[in-house]
A = this chain, B = another copy of it.
Amino acid sequence: MNSINPLIQQLKKYGTLSSIAEMAIDQKTKIFVKKKNDHFLKQGQLLTSYFVVKKGVFRAYINRNEKEINVWFGEENQIFGAIMPMYANKPSPEYIQFLEDSEVYAIAVDDLEVLYELYPELNLIGRKIAEELCVILEDRITSLHTESALERYQSLMEQQPSLVQRINLGHIASFLRVTQETLSRIRKR
């Protein structure tokens, strides 16, 4: 089977899927078309667990004392997991907003639960995705922990240069934990 479902394509990077599983996942995949500035995950709305952006960019942010803090950004051809919503004791305080017109392929939490039970092979893929995410998060922690504002900006430029092109300074600044003003000054050396 040769699906054009980009979510399945991403999943298959982590392990093999039987064609029955692939079909089942494909059936549960929902497509969303979003305009610039639209939200995806708002409290009370559909909670997705895995999703892939076929076209577009987004930011994930939280609210903290009246302010929005960008937690991460996402682009095409990456798989994202909204893992937090899966833990009942910790309702997701994370919002997702698209920064360009976007097209998203997603599976809902409840559907994923069922898929894990029906096709246990999926657990290997899920494990690898989560492990990979852990590595990214640990990096992020190290960066916030040990680097200066300038160094954090440089790290981002190295690791995800395309984001710096597509996303405005204010959002990047919030992600890096600096103010717009400071980032602006950093930028011109």
Which residues of A are in contact with B by a Cβ distance under 8 Å? 62, 64-65, 69, 71, 81, 83-84, 86-87, 90, 116, 120-121, 123-124, 126-127, 130-135, 137-138, 140-142, 144-146, 177
- Say yes or no: B146 contacts A144, CB within 8 Å: no
A62→B143 CA distance, assembly (Å): 12
A-B contacts besides A71-B138, A127-B130, 19 pairs, CB < 8 Å: A62-B142, A64-B142, A69-B142, A71-B141, A71-B145, A84-B138, A87-B132, A90-B135, A120-B121, A120-B123, A120-B124, A123-B127, A126-B131, A133-B134, A134-B134, A134-B137, A141-B144, A144-B145, A145-B177
Known: A124-B120, A127-B130. A87 touches B135 (CB 8 A): yes
In the complex formed, the residue of B with least CB distance to A176 is B145
Query: Which one of A71, A127, A144 has the highest number of Cβ atoms from chain B below 10 Å of its Cβ?
Result: A127
Q: How many identical chains are in the complex?
A: 2
A140→B130 CA distance, assembly (Å): 16
- Say yes or no: A116 contacts B120, CB within 8 Å: no
* A137 surroundings in chain B (CB, below 8 A): 134, 137-138, 140-141
Can you offer 30 A-B residue contacts whose CB atoms are under 8 A? A62-B142, A62-B146, A64-B146, A69-B142, A69-B145, A71-B138, A71-B141, A71-B142, A71-B145, A83-B134, A83-B135, A87-B132, A87-B135, A116-B124, A120-B120, A120-B121, A126-B127, A127-B130, A130-B130, A130-B131, A130-B133, A130-B134, A133-B134, A137-B138, A137-B140, A137-B141, A141-B141, A144-B144, A144-B145, A145-B177
A185→B21 CA distance, assembly (Å): 58
Kindly provide the distance from the CB of A44 to the nearest chain B CB, expressed in whole angstroms: 21
In the complex formed, the residue of B with least CB distance to A64 is B146
